Amino acid sequence: MESKTSFEKLLALTLDKTGLDCRKYNEPYIKRRLNSRLLSNGLAPADYEGYIKILGTVRAEARELYNALTVNVTQFFRDAKMWEILRTDVLPKIIAKLQRPAANGKRPGPAGAPALNIWSCGCSSGEEPYSLAILLRELAGARQSFVPVVIATDIDDLSLEKAASGIYGAASLATAPAEYVARYFKRIGDGPEAKFELEPSVKSLVRFRKHNFFDEPAPASGLDLILCRNVFIYFKTESKDKLLQTFHAALKDDGFLVMGKSEVLFTANFKDKFFLYNSDERIYGKGECHG
């Protein structure tokens, strides 16, 4: 029988061993993920006491549990349609606003080029922020009329280490347009073991940082765009609301927020803060929701 005390004890040990505060996640989700680890260790469902012993003594189990809880799956240009809308609509809109003539009538040139600031929140091993960097390089062309700055954060050291290397296997690139792979990656080796290294000048557009979005303020303010995809879905409403407050405060007045395809922003609580810009792709604009 599940005892509430052993469950709570396990959550405290999980926080200690993995840095993840499961009280912020919705409970059925946490129980499902924990049970997957219990089963892999030959325990009966809800045998939290048994699992506490394993987690407390087997070093590698903390990593297994972390992976089970965070599901850090990602790919370059995952959800092709969303990336197409960013490329053809959202980013050009942001860039056009950056390039508005200043009071003296002059457009910003390379010397005084304005920054286009983006935060990829919950970036996993870097595929999402690097996809952004590739798009920004494509859109900037030779004109250099803006300076792209992509801040990418995640709570997981191992994912961030992989991101910093900028080297990926073919599976990470399976959803990337072939022309981008050819233009921005150097192939290392052959066959199924081949790796792909991102071009250093594109890689340098992304700044990675360890960051727990529940405990820390946004890593920057005055942002033009925030991506927080496939991160939100597991959290309790209060946790989501707190994070949305952080995003709202960090965005410029005309900034955009992109969530994962199956993630819904709670418009009841955020009606006066965000409006749905593209409902299929879960793209929100900062501002009042009309209607």
Ligand X SMILES: C[S@@+](CC[C@H](N)C(=O)[O-])C[C@H]1O[C@@H](n2cnc3c(N)ncnc32)[C@H](O)[C@@H]1O
Q: Tell me how far apart the alpha carbons of residues 169 and 172 are, in angstroms, rounded to a whole number.
A: 6
Cα atoms in the 13 Å half-sphere on the side-chain side of 66: 18
Give me the 162-201 binding string for ligand X, x by CB under 6 A, dash otherwise: ----------------------------------------
- Contact status: 212 vs ligand X (CB under 6 A): yes
Q: Which of 61, 156, 224, 281 binds ligand X (CB under 6 A)?
A: 156
β-bridge pairing 251-259 and 283-286: antiparallel
In the complex, the smallest distance separating the C-beta of residue 183 from ligand X, rounded to whole angstroms, is 21
170 backbone dihedrals φ, ψ, rounded to 5°: -60, -35
Q: How many residues of this chain interact with ligand X, rule: CB under 6 A?
A: 22
Q: Which of 64, 214, 276, 289 binds ligand X (CB under 6 A)?
A: 214
Q: Which of 14, 172, 230, 246 binds ligand X (CB under 6 A)?
A: 230
Region of 10-18, 142-150, 181-189, 226-234 interacting with ligand X (CB under 6 A): 226-234
Q: Which of 7, 14, 116, 122 binds ligand X (CB under 6 A)?
A: 122
Q: Which residues contact 228 (CB under 8 A, 6 or more apart)?
A: 121, 122, 243, 247, 257, 258, 259
| Lookup: tokens for 4 | 């509430």
Q: Tell me how far apart the alpha carbons of residues 39 and 234 are, in angstroms, rounded to a whole number.
A: 21
Name the residue nearer to ligand X (CB basis): 74 or 246: 74
- Contact status: 29 vs ligand X (CB under 6 A): no
In the complex, the smallest distance separating the C-beta of residue 229 from ligand X, rounded to whole angstroms, is 4
Torsion region of 280: left, alpha or beta (phi above 0 gives left; psi -120 to 50 gives alpha): alpha
Alpha helices in the chain (DSSP H): 4-18, 27-40, 48-57, 59-70, 80-85, 91-98, 127-140, 157-165, 178-184, 200-203, 237-250, 267-270
In the complex, the smallest distance separating the C-beta of residue 253 from ligand X, rounded to whole angstroms, is 25
- Contact status: 231 vs ligand X (CB under 6 A): yes
* Coil, helix or strand at residue 18: helix
Region of 26-34, 66-74, 251-259, 276-284 interacting with ligand X (CB under 6 A): 66-74
Instruction: Enumerate binding residues for ligand X (CB under 6 A).
Output: 70-74, 78, 122-124, 128, 154-156, 159, 211-214, 229-231, 260
